[in-house]
């Protein structure tokens, strides 16, 4: 299975959410019981993880398991600390039925915030 290349944009200081659906031959894959892990780094060989996506950390949640839908989410407190002067490389893997697949890969761009100290 070929992973999908998808570049992401995260707005500094804003909640980042993106919902995906894993499909094979046009049909959602049942991801019941699956776990996800993904990391973003300045470059793939770098030892420094800037962003971690995982079901364990709660930054990946399964939205509709039988239809293959899952969501990535980063809170605004976290995105506030991201450096907009760097681009990141990431990938996202799923472990399902003891098999591991890379679903997504690409670059993450951090867009700087203009509004400071927003207090709702």
pLDDT of residue 20: 97
d(CA 63, CA 38): 17
**Distance between CA atoms of residues 97 and 111, nearest Å:** 37
Chain segment 65-102, per-residue pLDDT in tens: 999 999 999 999 999 999 999 999 999 999 999 999 99
CA–CA dist 118, 39 (Å, integer): 28
> How many beta carbons lie within 10 A of that of residue 89, not counting itself?
17
Read off the pLDDT of each residue in 22-35 and give the average, rounded to a whole number.
95
Q: pTM of the full predicted structure? A: 0.90
Cα 114–chain centre separation: 24
- Domains belonging to the chain, first-starting first, are 4-111 (2.60.40.10)
Shortest CA distance to 18 belongs to which of 78, 79, 59? 59
DSSP 60-99: EEEEEGGGTEEEEEE-HHHHHTS-TT-EEEEEEEEEETTE
pLDDT score recorded for residue 117: 65
Determine phi and psi for 66, rounding to 5 degrees.
-70, -20
């Amino acid at each position: 299975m070929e992973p999908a290349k998808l570049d992401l944009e995260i707005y500094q200081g804003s909640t980042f959410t993106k919902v995906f659906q894993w499909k094979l031959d046009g049909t959602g894959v049942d991801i019941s019981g699956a776990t996800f892990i993904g990391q973003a780094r300045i470059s793939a060989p770098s030892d420094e993880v800037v962003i971690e996506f995982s079901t364990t950390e709660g930054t990946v949640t399964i939205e509709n398991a039988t239809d293959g839908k899952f969501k990535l989410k980063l809170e605004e407190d976290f995105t506030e600390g991201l450096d907009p002067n760097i681009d990141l490389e990431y990938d996202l893997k799923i472990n399902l039925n003891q098999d591991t697949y890379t679903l997504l890969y690409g670059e993450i761009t951090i867009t700087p915030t203009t509004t400071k100290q927003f207090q709702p």
